[in-house]
Amino acid sequence: MIEAYLIHLLILVGIYSVLAVSLNLALGNTGLMNMGHIAFFGIGAYTSVIFTKDLGVPFFAAFLIAGLLTSVFGFILVYATRKLRGDYLALATLGFSFVIYSLMLNWSSVTRGPLGIPGISKPCFFGLCIANNLQYLIFVLIISAISIAIMYIIVNSSFGKLLAATRDDDIGLRALGKNTFMLKSKALMISAFFAGIAGSLFAHYITYIDPSSFMLSEVILIFTIVIVGGIASIKGSIVSTFLIILIPELLRFLNIPSSVLGPARQIIYALILLVIVLWRPKGLFGKIDLE
């Protein structure tokens, strides 16, 4: 019993750590204030489900298509918002997530609207299917490890240094003849790709998706993870995912009614976010201050 519960939590930690590290790649390493990251997660989830369930594409292909299509949305977003900065960029990306949310809610012929899509199959590879949660955990851990390793290499490469330079001094870098728009769009496309595959992992684990999994409160959740962990710190994001996913679970041992559990969890996220923003803007392992 307790093992099944721990496995469930660890699967969530695995999925959310990919989501958090990919957000941090855009937000921390490149300085792109993307509040639409949850929309990428949702696009990945829906794409993967629609391709496997409605079109009969094998899981692994749908998984990659989910990442690639989300990446295309990443380019659309970065292209559309290329002239905005500061809080207007943040708001436009937030607006983007609202648009995607209403698309999921209203494009009923494809997404089944508010009813959501139930009965999503677990992944199969060449006839071998994942049978239980322990196997799914192993699968998630492999994918997360590969994804995070790729992002780690990207961040520490010369390309990653250029991304950090666009964050710190966009104009200076352009004066050196670098195309910062290209750098930013690559960064956001990579970030969106990993958010998309995290969405696919999430959908095939939960086996049911509806638009409410991709709403404003979830934006706060992943922002809390990244900000608590620290801007531009991959290690921070991973440690923080553990903390943020596991801390509210302590509420379960307090015997409070389940109707209170959801709001109480949101309150904990919001309080942690406010405390960190007010008193420790570097987060746990942040390299640079949140400005």
Give me the least distance between CB of 180 and another protein, in Å please.
10
> Could you identify the residue written with the tokens 């009813």?
115
For the bound state, the minimum distance from the C-beta of residue 126 to another protein, rounded and expressed in Å, comes to 41
Rg (CA), the chain: 19
Give residue for tokens 């684990």. Answer: 205
Distance of alpha carbon 240 from alpha carbon 19, whole angstroms: 12
Nearer residue to another protein within complex by CB, 3 or 291: 291
Largest Cα separation within the chain, whole Å, is 61
For the CB of residue 135, give the shortest distance to another protein in the complex, in Å.
35
- Per the rule left: phi > 0, alpha: psi between -120 and 50, beta: everything else, 31 is left
The residue whose two tokens read 């990945």 is 44
Of 34 and 233, which CB lies nearer to another protein in the complex structure? 34
| 3-state class (DSSP) for residue 176 | coil
In whole angstroms, the minimum distance from the beta carbon of 211 to another protein comes to 11
Q: Kindly report the CA angle at 39 between 82 and 88, in degrees rounded to 5?
A: 35
Residue 158 Cβ vs another protein, minimum distance, rounded to whole Å: 25
User: Which parts of this chain interact with another protein (CB under 8 A)?
Assistant: 33, 80-88, 90-92, 95-96, 98-99, 101-103, 105-106, 108, 113, 216-217, 219-220, 223-224, 227, 259-260, 262-264, 266-267, 269-271, 273-274, 277-278, 281, 290-291
Distance CA 171, CA 173 (A): 5
Q: Which is nearer to another protein, 92 or 151 (CB)?
A: 92
Q: Residue 12 and residue 221: Cα distance in Å, rounded?
A: 13
